[in-house]
Structure 1
Amino acid sequence: MDRKEYSASAVKLSFWFMEFRKVVSLLAAGKTLEEIKEINKKENIFGAPTILRSEQIFNTVSGRIKAMDKSFIEIFQNSDVTTQKLFALIATLSLDTLFFDFVYEVIREKMIIGSNTFADSDIRIFFKDKQLQSDKVAKLTDATLRRLGGSYKTMLFEAGLTDKGKTERKILKPILDPIMERWLKDHNMEACFKALTGVR
């Protein structure tokens, strides 16, 4: 898995699972990303409120898909919704290194020590540590970091990894489909497997 530069882009992005699923199904039907881009321009396939938002959704979702080996598409198409959501989350983590580190260093660690909840204070500590490690994160304002933490919580909830608790969120440890687990290991994505399942 390639590590990309830290980014706060998640503040303006969503999980976009239904949109991810739509693009994957069009790819499975033989369309190319270029063709899907054109279809979206003409038909607004995501039902976005503006052209700009429609383009942003396509660019984000297609970027996430491109971060994965194409062989995931067939497995995705034959999986249940729970597994499909995990694939969409893994694609998001593959593109967003800061979000990946949050899941790996906070959520995974919580599962390892047997604590099945995390709080806003855990998010704040994570960002403080990252500000010491990265000039890019150090430059982010407190307001941006708060929004980023909110975005991470929403995406993890929508992926089925947490509940929607007010002060604390319960971590719902997923049981990975064996086919997905094997795919992750075969494609050098063992770190994602560990992040999601709380393995050392």
Structure 2
Amino acid sequence: MKKKKKYSTGIKSTPFLYLELKKIAKLKVRNSNITDKEIRRQAVEDNIFQVNTLNRRKTISRATIKRINVLDDYLIDQLLNGTLDNSKQIALYSILKTDRLFFEFMKEVYREKYLIKDPYLHDKDFNIFFEKKAEQSERVAGWKEYTYYKLKQVFIRILFEAGFIKEQDKREIVRPIINQSLKQHLIDKNEAEYLEAMLG
């Protein structure tokens, strides 16, 4: 049985990171033997993400390395060379694979919206979700109100940047169109649950 990842608030400081993820993917394609350590070195010393602080360079490199490592060669190729929509969907998939809380939100809230034909994400949807998680997990229950607020903001921003909602204010859900070969690839990898979380 698969061990569940711990709930984390790390996503607050590492939202969509689409362009950063593509930079790491390009490094991997150019040098298939490149190690995570070497990527971290380039992020810190060469400042490949072009951010000001050392701490931020380390934070982004940790998150993007974690995300790129859940992508196989086909998904990395699609991230770099697929359509913009598909590329962003793969970036979102990498977050679903590495962040338990975001995955459960997509599965339990976003997907549910499709099923009940409610096209908008409301504040109460986030509040109910976090309340439920706090009841299920002492770790989540120990978070401050501001943490829930920031997580909500980041979830909305990720969905908007990935093209899964129309606006950050009204938050109208846009059902993504995922091409058949990408769908089939995820099904063949036994990862239909991630596909369902995105597609409803």
Contact 1:2–1:94 (CA<8 Å) still a contact in 2?
A: no
Q: How does 1:20-59 map to 2 (within 5 A)?
A: 20-31=21-32, 32=34, 33-59=36-62
Contact 1:157–1:163 (CA<8 Å) still a contact in 2?
A: yes
Contact 2:15–2:154 (CA<8 Å) still a contact in 1?
A: yes
TM-score for both structures, normalised by structure 1: 0.92
Equivalence for 2:186? 184
Equivalence for 1:19? 20
Contact 2:11–2:154 (CA<8 Å) still a contact in 1?
A: yes
- Please state how far the C-alpha of 1:64 moved relative to its aligned partner: 1.0
1:122-181 per-residue CA deviation (whole Å, 9 max, x = no partner) reads 100111111111111111111111111111111111111012242x31011001011211
Give the count of matched residue pairs: 197
- The structure whose RCO (Cα within 8 Å, separation 6+) is larger is 1
Contact 1:46–1:54 (CA<8 Å) still a contact in 2?
A: yes
Unaligned residue ranges in structure 2 (runs of 5+):
none
Contact 1:161–1:172 (CA<8 Å) still a contact in 2?
A: yes
- Please state how far the C-alpha of 1:117 moved relative to its aligned partner: 0.8
1:23-79 per-residue CA deviation (whole Å, 9 max, x = no partner) reads 111111125133322222332011011121111111100011123334422232331
Identity between Structure 1 and Structure 2 (%): 31
TM-score for both structures, normalised by structure 2: 0.92
Contact 1:63–1:95 (CA<8 Å) still a contact in 2?
A: yes
Match of 2:85, SS?
Answer: helix
In structure 2, give the amino acid aligned to 1:155: I
Q: Distance in 1 between matches of 2:159 and 2:122?
A: 13
Equivalence for 2:10? 9
Unaligned residue ranges in structure 1 (runs of 5+):
none
Q: 1:127 aligns with which of 125, 130, 138?
A: 130
- Please state how far the C-alpha of 1:2 moved relative to its aligned partner: 6.2
Q: Distance in 1 between matches of 2:168 and 2:150?
A: 17
Contact 2:157–2:168 (CA<8 Å) still a contact in 1?
A: no
In structure 1, give the amino acid aligned to 2:20: E
Q: Distance in 1 between matches of 2:3 and 2:28?
A: 23
Equivalence for 2:71? 68
Q: Distance in 2 between matches of 1:119 and 1:112?
A: 16
Q: 2:166 aligns with which of 140, 163, 167?
A: 163
Q: Distance in 1 between matches of 2:163 and 2:81?
A: 19
Q: 1:93 aligns with which of 93, 96, 100?
A: 96
